[in-house]
Amino acid sequence: MNKNIHTFIGCDSDYDSSDIVIFGVPFDGTTSYRPGTRFASAAIRNESYGIETYSPYLDKDLLDIKVFDAGDLEIGFGNTEKVLEAIEGMTGMLLDDNKKPLMIGGEHLVTLGCVRAVAKKYPGVHIVHFDAHADLRNEYLGEKLSHACVMRRCHDIIGDDRIYQFGIRSGDREEFEWAKDHVFMQKFNLDRLDAVIEILRNKPVYLTIDLDVLDPSVFPGTGTPEAGGISFNELLAAISKVFTLNIVAADITELSPVYDQSGVSTALACKLLREMLLQM
Ligand SMILES: [Mn+2]
C-alpha cells in the first residue's frame, strides 16, 4: 500500500535529493477582468496524469530527474503584500538550499515575489518575459501591486536593460513609450530571440511565462485572452533556446482552467511544464 500523494506526474522525489522544486500559488486577488487562475496549479496536477512522463522532443523522461512537488503555498486573500512575502520566503529558502524553484501561478503578480528573492541571491539577474501584455503600468486603478504592473515592479528592483519581453501585443500608449527607454520589447512575436540569447549568455536569468502569450485559439483558458499570439511549437522552440542559459528560477502563470471546458489549455500547460522541468 502506498499513501495518497498528489504531485505533478513523475515529480514525487523527496526534497533533499531534488534539484528542482515545484510550488503552486493559487492567487488571483488583483485580477481585473476574469478571475480563476487560483485553480491552475490544482488543475495542472490533476490533468498531468493525461500526459506522458517521457518527452519525445528531448528524449528525456521525468522519471530520470529529481523533482520535489511542494504543493501549493497556503495564502490568504485580501492582503497582496502578505502573499508576495510568502512567495519571496519560499523562493529564498529554495535558493538557499540550492534548489531551482519553478512556480505555478496564479495571476502574473506572483512573479514579483519570486523576483524579489532571486534578485537578492543574484543581484545581476535578468528576466526573460513571454506575454501578450506589457505589464509595465506604474499603477492600475490606483493600485501598484497589480498583475498589470508586475514587470514595472520588477524593473523597480533590477533596473534598466534587464527585462527582455517577447510576444507583447497589448498595453496602453504610455507603457509602450516607457518601454523604449527601460526594457527590451519584442512586439507581437519572438523575433530577435537569438540575439537576446547571446546577450544573456553567462548571466543569471529568471524566466517568466504568462501563458496568454499563446494565441487564444490554442490557449483559450486564460483571464485576458489576446488575439494574435504565438503557437505552442513556437513557444516550445523558444524555451529550448532560453534553457541553454543559466536559468536560476522560472514560473508559468495565468492559466485559468474554467474558461476552457475542453481542457486543452490545462493539457497544454502540463506539457509545457514537463518540457521546462526536463530542461531546467
Ligand atoms: Mn498577460
Give me the residue spans of the domains in the chain.
20-279
- Give the span between the Cα atoms of 63 and 11, in whole angstroms: 8
Specify the pLDDT at position 3: 78
C-alpha of residue 37 to centroid of ligand 1, in Å: 12
Q: Which residues surround ligand 1, an ion (CB under 5 A)?
A: 131-133, 210, 212
C-alpha of residue 250 to centroid of ligand 1, in Å: 16
C-alpha of residue 212 to centroid of ligand 1, in Å: 5
C-alpha of residue 99 to centroid of ligand 1, in Å: 27
Q: Could you give the C-alpha distances from 189 to 105, 123, 130, 201, 213, in angstroms and in order?
A: 23, 29, 10, 21, 9
Q: Which residues of 32-45 are buried (b: 16+ CB within 10 A; e: fewer)?
A: eeeebbbbbbbbbb
pLDDT digits (tens, 9 = 90+) for 33-84: 889 999 999 999 999 999 999 999 999 999 999 999 999 999 988 899 999 9
DSSP 46: H
Residue among 189, 168, 192, 190 nearest 179 (CA): 168
Specify the pLDDT at position 1: 83
C-alpha of residue 232 to centroid of ligand 1, in Å: 16
Residues in a beta bridge with 249 = 206
Specify the pLDDT at position 107: 96
Specify the pLDDT at position 279: 98
Could you please report the per-residue DSSP string of 234-251?
HHHHHHHHHTTSEEEEEE
Specify the pLDDT at position 2: 79
- Give the span between the Cα atoms of 175 and 165, in whole angstroms: 12
C-alpha of residue 189 to centroid of ligand 1, in Å: 14
Cβ-contact 197, 245 below 8 angstroms:
yes
Grid cell digits, residue 233: 511549437
C-alpha of residue 194 to centroid of ligand 1, in Å: 22
- Give the span between the Cα atoms of 87 and 93, in whole angstroms: 10
DSSP 123: T
For the chain, which ranges sit under pLDDT 50? none
Q: Which residues contact 115 (CB under 8 A, 6 or more apart)?
A: 125, 127, 154, 157, 158, 206, 208
C-alpha of residue 133 to centroid of ligand 1, in Å: 4
Grid cell digits, residue 13: 522525489
C-alpha of residue 152 to centroid of ligand 1, in Å: 13
Specify the pLDDT at position 4: 80
Instruction: Look at the domain 20-279 and name its fold.
Output: Arginase; Chain A (3.40.800)
Give how far the C-alpha of residue 107 lies from the chain's centroid of Cα atoms, to the nearest Å: 9
Residue among 128, 118, 62, 7 nearest 279 (CA): 62
Cβ-contact 145, 29 below 8 angstroms:
no
C-alpha of residue 13 to centroid of ligand 1, in Å: 32
Q: Which residues of 137-147 are buried (b: 16+ CB within 10 A; e: fewer)?
A: beebeeeebbb
C-alpha of residue 201 to centroid of ligand 1, in Å: 26
